[in-house]
Structure 1
């Protein structure tokens, strides 16, 4: 697990934190915005105390609740990893991405009191017009979910490996 963390999780965590630090230093919260691809992609600085798509954003104890959920998820992932629940390359890669994503957003909750979101896209089709803002850590979690779905179809389960 250490190798996976050093080769995948750590670089992505560093990229996530560096990009957020750059945004915090160069973009005023909820004010400054830079159009990167006209009509499609913007950089801006927004605060999210909630979870995906801004759900529960701004609620009084959201940071505490989602911080606790993050720590619980990391513990659960570690236990499952040690028990061999992630047997193949897809699931192990997903674990590395999940750890980077969870730690990236958890760090924000402690440092800033909110998760720094800064990537905004508008593809011009409802209901995702514009798409909710996100960050590198969020991208890691989404890709991890996709990889876990793929792994569920192509990787043998730990139970079936023991039988063989």
Structure 2
């Protein structure tokens, strides 16, 4: 009986792992994302493009839709749908961070996705669209430019890639 009580006390007394570092990473992503968007929005006029290299331009673009401007040409309802989806995603990611705070790669992935989701959510709530400014393309090609994107989008894609790697590692064990 005494050993059962001792193990119970040991288990219940173990410290919970904090999600603060993961929220800190997300906050850094949001900060970098918003600083870059505000800077480009102040220095450029809508549609303006400045070449940086033979395969990369800075451009001020607005995306009223989702990834690859999906539903961007709709009447405006998509702003509210994508805002609601982002809010639900943020809540769910925070829940997952609390449940799995000790799983480093998984939480890195979630923190990047969280930061990106919040960054784009801020744009939708303030401007009604997402500010994009990174324009990559293949030089001397008839192929169109990839859709412009931003730091939040990079964080989301990076987080998704890390999530896939984490799952593949987990399945491999």
TM-score category of the 2 structures, normalised to the smaller one? 0.7 to 0.9
- Provide the aligned length of Structure 1 versus Structure 2: 154
Describe the superposition over 1:52-75 as per-residue Cα deviations: whole angstroms up to 9, x where unpaired: 111111322111000000001111
Q: Say yes or no: does 1:104 pair with 2:119.
A: yes
Aligned counterpart, 2:20: 2
Q: Say yes or no: does 1:67 pair with 2:46.
A: no
Which runs of at least 4 in structure 1 moved beyond 4 Å after TM superposition?
124-128
Q: Which runs of no fewer than 5 residues in structure 1 stay unpaired?
A: none
Aligned counterpart, 2:14: none
Superposition map of 1:2-41 within 5 A: 2-6=20-24, 8-30=25-47, 32-38=48-54, 40-41=55-56
Q: Which runs of no fewer than 5 residues in structure 2 stay unpaired?
A: 1-18
Q: 2:94 aligns with which of 71, 75, 78?
A: 78
**Cα distance, 1:148 vs structure 2:** 0.4
CA separation of 1:70 and 1:77: change in aligned 2, threshold 3 A? same
CA distance in 2, matches of 1:128, 1:152: 34
Equivalent residues of 1:48, 1:58 under 8 A apart: no
Higher alpha-carbon Rg = 2
CA separation of 1:150 and 1:87: change in aligned 2, threshold 3 A? farther
Aligned counterpart, 1:93: 108
**Cα distance, 1:128 vs structure 2:** 6.0
